Structure 1
């Protein structure tokens, strides 16, 4: 079955069951399916979108995002979720590279979408609110009166999503998935976290992220669970929602848990409905995990350590693992194999560092329109992640570093070369390196170590402002460190591990 058909089946089998709640708008599964069908028919009529064409979603969390996703899935379109924090140039590249034909976006992003759509294959732009650009269509105008399921044949082998993840070149790569792979991603959560149709999900992490989208929204809809959608993350509103809606399943990135712990009267909220808590997308300190267990009054915590290219998928540390191996990554997801190998592809000995590689039923088909990058990543059936890891005697795997020097700040992936390319554009910078330093709130803080040109004086705040004009906010360095030179090896490569060691020690002193 394709992903959209599961919603149709649920509407027939238990249509009156509560399905969605967002900003006071509530839907049963029957109403949910009708809203999706009305949009699907409207998209066919107003945009003439064909099966296999790409449709981008540039939206914050909302019921409209969910309707758009499932409407496009029913039409056999390929969905391209876009990070709404990106700049115009970054968005435009994704539109161009994915060959996007249709965009559905929030009113607040109308002008950004219009600018980014220039010199692309986009022919239709739909806005959820009142369009700011005359040529854009309003979401309400596009809706059809037809409520029946579209009569289109969509196979499980048809493409469903392109999920963009930045690469070491600084240009994003689009991981391509079909319906079957995304169903398998959901199945890993159904088995790994023991979720069921009676669960009640709170979606506060962005739905453009594969974690919130595929692990929890898609799997929850397949099961017929209940979903509460929040447009933005607010610690107090999150606690209120858990109490009001009796949320049973909570997922957040480490920064969100940290913010919840800062709420002065957090312990006064009734959080007893929570059965399971998941975290991931960034390292989470054991101390924060322990405090979060006390806040939520449960030890049923799951560490989800995965990659976008795997759907996401990878390794999982379950509640029993937390009791003995707090701080480790975990063991492979259901339907997934994981190894730690050396440069020859042989398994390293326990305790030794090697590359983390994956194989399984959730791994992407390819990097869309990037054959060379695909060949490098997918070799002999294995996804070579570029991440460094260590495996212990019991089979628990822990990531220890990243070959690609990726920084994870507040759940967002930041690749050093993206930031460095901008730093090098500054007239006073002659050398630069970007590293991630531990941060209690964000997991890792983006830190730029720069060397000024001879005779130049770099103003840290001015350099941050310079970066802010060219990078999404979460990629802008939180700290600028001025050095006279950077450590390099004989080949001229910057030794970033030395920088991390040096400045971690400096902060500890």
Structure 2
């Protein structure tokens, strides 16, 4: 056991080595690392009293709170698994999660969707949770104390965190991440972000999203301060950054614009925020950070199954591939369908293995077998290795268009279309073609009030960026692209614009 290191162990070490550091801020609650350790010890005992042991699942149904981190650390101590689920889901979606995950304990915030599903023993966040935690006997760190610290359940692949993702079959799957994977990812992230003692992270994005969780855990690992807010609110972000001297927050695009607008009069001091440059107004409020992470506009390639980021643009300044280079704790290969590595410059599936890779999906044996073929995790996304060794992310490998004898991946054509300044969004489908079996059809959304572009102009634009056989033969214009999450809803596009004749269909 001397080589084992869990998230619970990290907390226990900080309680000794950082006794005066504030670990958590949540509303009026402020906890030092020893105080957080004491609460986690009691929470672990309370959960064990409810029957939670190695491999059992604990479900959180609620907004952001320090309780999420407490539950994760307690699960780590017991060898159990925490799943913070999307509290915005419908009753039907939540019912699926409950059946699929079969949690031993559910901690929840009251909501209309969850209220109809509430079962015996559910623990409501707030007073009931505090009462539950206070009644638990202490379970301290260390192999002699922790029921989760066994040879069977203490290996590097034992999961501690489940995040729902990857709705390949129309329903999501819970990606399982181990203590070891999360610690490895945190180690890589804190180097690229150049996190230092005193680092304070504002959990302003949802903790069921790996983008927020990965920074929360990296902050824990460096012994920094995690500040929690229930959900994003631009004015509250400003107040908390000022009050807590926040270093980093989960903010992107429109969120940044909203925060800048909320602080237009300069009411709050946001200078402690060391963040990526975004706009003149934003840059004047914050301290533009010069870490590799921020210089590269927080760039790279990632997904839940790799702990967050697989490659970092910050590790490849000036590189040809806009996804950068892999984390130093992983290997990346671009593989053909037969498992062989494609040559540099060719498109293949991004596959990986290493310390930060997940342990598979909960209760999905067939999917797990497919995703680990040839000894690699298959991301389901396409990429290309450039001559300088860097990686370019092409897009999701959702389907393939077969035109003549050529394979065409929609994501590659979409990326070429979206590089045109007049294009706001684009999606590509295959439509039946008597001569070629399929032809490429592009559905394009133009920038409102922009310069505009004709179908002919867009085809010519694409011709200079990808092989001629990949260019669209048909272009139609639309007001929006239907989406499933962040990716185009290709089934809806096929139905609306005559798609079909896909290989294997």
CA contact (8 A) 1:34 1:147 kept: no
Q: Does residue 337 of structure 2 align to residue 343 of structure 1? A: yes
Equivalent residue number for residue 139 of structure 1: 129
Rounded to whole Å, the distance in 1 between the matches of 2:59 and 2:444 is: 30
Q: CA deviation at 1:169?
A: 0.9
1:296 pairs with 2:292: no
The corresponding residue for 1:115 is: 116
- Retained in 2: the 8 A contact 1:313–1:362? no
Q: 2:53 is matched with which residue?
A: 50
Alignment of 1:374-413 (within 5 A): 374-404=368-398
Q: Is the 8 A contact 2:188 2:328 kept in 1?
A: yes
Residues 294-315 of structure 1 show CA distances to partners (whole Å, capped at 9, x for unaligned) of 6534253132421111122311
Contact 1:377–1:385 (Cα < 8 Å) also in 2: yes
Equivalent positions of 1:188-227 (< 5 A) are: 188-213=188-213, 215-227=214-226
Give the TM-score normalised by structure 2: 0.72
How many residue pairs get matched? 414
Alignment CA distance shift 1:434-1:41 (3 Å): farther
Distance between the aligned counterparts of 1:9 and 1:38, measured in 2? 17
Distance 1:12 1:434 in 2: 59
**Structure 1: runs of 5 or more not aligned:** 131-137, 278-286, 408-415, 417-432, 441-459, 494-509
Instruction: Classify 1:263/1:276 alpha carbon distance in 2 versus 1 (closer, same or farther; 3 Å).
Output: closer
SS in structure 2 of the partner of residue 10 of structure 1: helix
Deviations 1:119-178 (A, max 9, x none): xxx763110146xxxxxxx21331235674443243342431222213321111122232
Contact 2:345 2:384 in 1 (8 A): yes
Kindly indicate whether the alpha-carbon contact (under 8 Å) linking 1:40 and 1:72 is maintained by their aligned counterparts in 2: yes
Taking the TM superposition and a 5 Å limit, the aligned residue runs for 1:343-382 are 343-382=337-376
1:429: which partner in 2?
none
Contact 1:41/1:144, CA 8 A, preserved across alignment: no
**What's the Cα RMSD here?**
3.8
Partners of 2:260 and 2:388 in 1: how far apart?
33
Equivalent pair of 1:2/1:154 in contact (CA under 8 Å): no
SS of match in other structure, 2:239: helix
Relative to the length of structure 1, the TM-score reads 0.71
CA contact (8 A) 2:335 2:342 kept: yes
Per-residue CA distance 1:433-452 (angstroms, 9 max, x = gap): 99997999xxxxxxxxxxxx
- Other-structure match for 1:305: 301
- Give how far 1:185 is off: 2.0
C-alpha separation in 2, matches of 1:312 and 1:344: 27
Aligned counterparts of 2:79 and 2:495: Cα–Cα separation in 1: 53
Note if 1:233 corresponds to 2:232. yes
Q: Is the 8 A contact 1:340 1:347 kept in 2?
A: yes
CA distance in 2, matches of 1:394, 1:250: 33
What is the CA deviation profile of residues 344-382 of structure 1, one whole-angstrom value per residue up to 9, with x for unaligned ones?
334434443322111211112222221111111112321
